[in-house]
Structures are given as C-alpha cells and as structure tokens.
C-alpha cells in the first residue's frame, strides 16, 4: 500500500512536468489591419529543432486528398505559396493563397482532437492546404472546414497538437482549436494575436490582468507562451499607422521580433529546454506578397503572388529559403519540385 502511494505521488508529479514541457514549444502569430495601407500578418516558428522549411508554389487544378482513411478529396481552386516542413513529412505549416487568405499552424499542447466520425477526413499535415486550396475568405474557410474532420496522424514521429489562425484581405480573422474533443472557433477581426498554451479563451482572460488591458500587471519580458501573447498584443496596440505597405510589413516584423526567442534562451522553471525562433514569415494580404526570413540569416526574401503563374498547366515549384545567398524578390528562383510535374 505504501509502495502504491509512492507510485501515485511520482505519477502526479510527472503530469505537470509533462504539461510544462509541452507548453514550452512555441510560436507566435499577429494580424494587423491598418487604416489605409491594408492588412498585414506575421508569425514566428519556434521549436526544439529546425522545422526545415521549403517554399512550395501550388497551382490551381491540383487533385488533393486528405491522407487518412475515408479521406476528403478536392481540386485546388486557388494557387498558393506554402511553407512545408521538409523534415516533418512535408507538413504544411504556413502560407498564403492568391486571394490573400493566409493561414498559420501553431503548436497547442492542450489539443484534444474530435472522436473520429463519418465525415471525410483531412490529416493535420494538409489541413492548412485544404483551406488555402478551397477558400478565398475566412468565412468561406470556416464553412468548408465544418464539413470535414481533422484526423491526427504522426508527423515527425509524433502526434502534434495544433491550432490554426486565419486572416483575409478584408481584415477578418479566425482561430480554430480542438479542446476537450470539440472544435472551438473564435471568429472576428478582434482575434489578432495567437501563441500557444493555454487555449485561446483562457489566454484572453489572462490578458485582462495586464496593464493596458484592464489589469495592473506590468508587461512581461520572458518567453513563456502567455507572456509572448501579452507582449505581442501590447505592442500591436500601440503601432503607428504606416506611410506605405513596405513600412507596414517592417512594423509587423518589429512586433514579431519582440516575441521571437533567441537561440539558447531557456524557459523558466529550471527545465533547461530551448525552443528558439528558426524562421519568421510576413504577409501583405492586400498586395498579396509573402515574406520569409531565417533567424540565422540577415536577409529577408519575398514572393509577389500576382507575378506567379498559378494556371492548372503549371507544375509545383519549390525554393529552399535556407540558402544564405537569397535576398529580396525570389519569385524567379523557384524550380519544378522533383517528382511533382504535371
């Protein structure tokens, strides 16, 4: 009996430790609708190892399937530029389509996916692509997402809990999470910031405790998820209006850099883990320009989607953005993706 109590105490101690380890894995997303220069978005990709990025151009007219049993199938209505994790089974983690819809996949340790039912399934690896392929706006994306089911499958050797942030060129926004086995949607232009744990409704309550949002706590400077959430919301609140779209992108990058995690920075609690920012994306949704920056490379690159040929006759194209010689507009640098010709 004494041994049983000891085992239970050990297990009880391990549970919160596991939760803390999950919460350490990190990313941040911000959306900004300006008065005159349009809509901008940005995100950081933070992880314990690089999610090796590849920029892929998908044309219209591709036949795609969801990658699970009883899979959803669709034909891409819109061309897109998508970031794939080359070492994570080519999971789609960020991107923009030619209508300006932009979608970001971030880690959420509290995720509990729905029980499998009869709806056509889409794996977590391609759910972001499903939205970009089929939808021009946030409203349309939510309508289409409601008739399929996200089915978790191992990615990079593990089931990864995730939530989605979407925004479109009108400034509409949505956050999609799976909490307690149900899909939870927060829809509206007010949903401008997302990090990781806790789930969004809890994060909003935490935000209200801080200066500038109704509370008295000072703006935090650490790198825990809720602290990055508060800091991003705070700096976004005080951004001045940009004089042009280029300055709008620059201001968005400034906010993202305030929540980026330097290499070697440990999380609190003596755990010792580090989840640095490996890369950052930016998006000018109004002018349909997609930006990318590696944290270990001082250059920023971008792709003007209006200059790409998304016609159904085109092959899939790919670019390795980790190349340190790349800078500026790289639209002409894409090459046919091996094994993906038409």
Which CATH number covers residue 177?
A: 3.60.60.10
Instruction: Give the residue ranges of DSSP H helices in 238-339.
Output: 245-259
| Domain span at 151 | 25-199+244-336
The CA distance from 154 to 104, in Å, is: 19
The CA distance from 128 to 95, in Å, is: 8
Q: Is residue 17 part of a domain?
A: no
Mapping DSSP to helix (H, G, I), strand (E, B) and coil, where does residue 99 land?
Answer: coil
Q: Is residue 65 part of a domain?
A: yes
Residue 156 CB burial class (10 angstroms; 0-12, 13-18, ≥19): middle
Q: Are 51 and 280 in contact (CB under 8 A)?
A: no
Q: Is residue 217 part of a domain?
A: no
Q: Half-sphere exposure of 218 toward its Cβ, with a 13 Å CA cutoff? A: 3
- Closest CA relative to residue 148, chosen from 114, 122, 112: 122
Q: Into how many domains does the chain fold?
A: 1
C-alpha Rg value of the chain to the nearest Å? 20
- Cβ of 272: how many Cβ atoms within 10 Å? 8
Whole-model pTM: value is: 0.92
Q: Is residue 117 part of a domain?
A: yes
Tens digit of pLDDT at every position of the chain (342 positions) = 443 333 333 333 333 333 334 444 579 999 999 999 999 999 999 999 999 999 999 999 999 999 999 999 999 999 999 999 999 999 999 999 999 999 999 999 999 999 999 999 999 999 999 999 999 999 999 999 999 999 999 998 899 999 999 999 999 999 999 999 999 999 999 999 999 999 999 999 999 999 999 999 999 999 999 999 999 999 999 999 999 999 999 999 999 999 999 999 887 665 667 899 999 999 999 999 999 999 999 999 999 999 999 999 999 999 999 999 999 999 999 999 988 866
């Amino acid at each position: 009996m004494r041994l049983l109590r000891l085992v239970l105490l050990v297990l009880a101690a391990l549970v919160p430790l596991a939760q803390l380890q999950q919460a350490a894995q990190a990313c941040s997303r911000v959306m900004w609708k300006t008065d005159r220069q349009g809509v901008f978005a940005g995100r950081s990709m933070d992880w314990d190892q690089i999610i090796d990025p590849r920029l892929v151009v998908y044309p219209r007219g591709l036949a795609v399937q969801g990658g699970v049993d009883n899979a959803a199938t669709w034909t891409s209505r819109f061309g897109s530029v998508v970031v794939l994790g080359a070492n994570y089974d080519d999971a789609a983690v960020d991107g923009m389509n030619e209508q300006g819809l932009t979608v970001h996949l971030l880690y959420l340790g509290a995720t509990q996916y729905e029980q499998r039912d009869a709806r056509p399934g889409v794996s977590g690896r391609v759910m972001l692509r499903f939205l970009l392929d089929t939808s021009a706006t946030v409203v349309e994306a939510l309508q289409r997402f409601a008739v399929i089911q996200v089915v978790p499958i191992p990615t990079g050797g593990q089931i990864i809990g995730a939530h989605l942030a979407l925004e479109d060129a009108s400034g509409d926004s949505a956050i999609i999470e799976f909490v307690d086995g149900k899909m939870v949607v927060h829809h509206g232009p007010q949903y401008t910031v997302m990090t990781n744990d806790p789930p969004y409704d809890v994060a909003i309550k935490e935000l209200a405790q801080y200066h500038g949002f109704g509370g008295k706590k000072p703006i935090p400077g650490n790198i825990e998820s809720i602290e990055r959430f508060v800091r991003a919301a705070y700096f976004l609140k005080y951004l001045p209006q940009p004089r042009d779209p280029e300055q709008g992108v620059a201001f968005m990058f400034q906010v993202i850099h305030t929540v980026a995690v330097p290499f070697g920075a440990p999380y609190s609690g003596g755990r010792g883990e580090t989840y640095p920012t490996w890369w950052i994306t930016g998006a000018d949704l109004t002018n349909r320009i997609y930006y990318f920056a590696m944290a270990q490379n001082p250059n920023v690159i971008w792709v003007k989607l209006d200059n790409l040929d998304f016609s159904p006759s085109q092959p899939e194209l790919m670019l390795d953005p980790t190349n340190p010689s790349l800078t500026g507009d790289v639209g002409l640098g894409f090459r046919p993706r091996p094994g993906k010709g038409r």
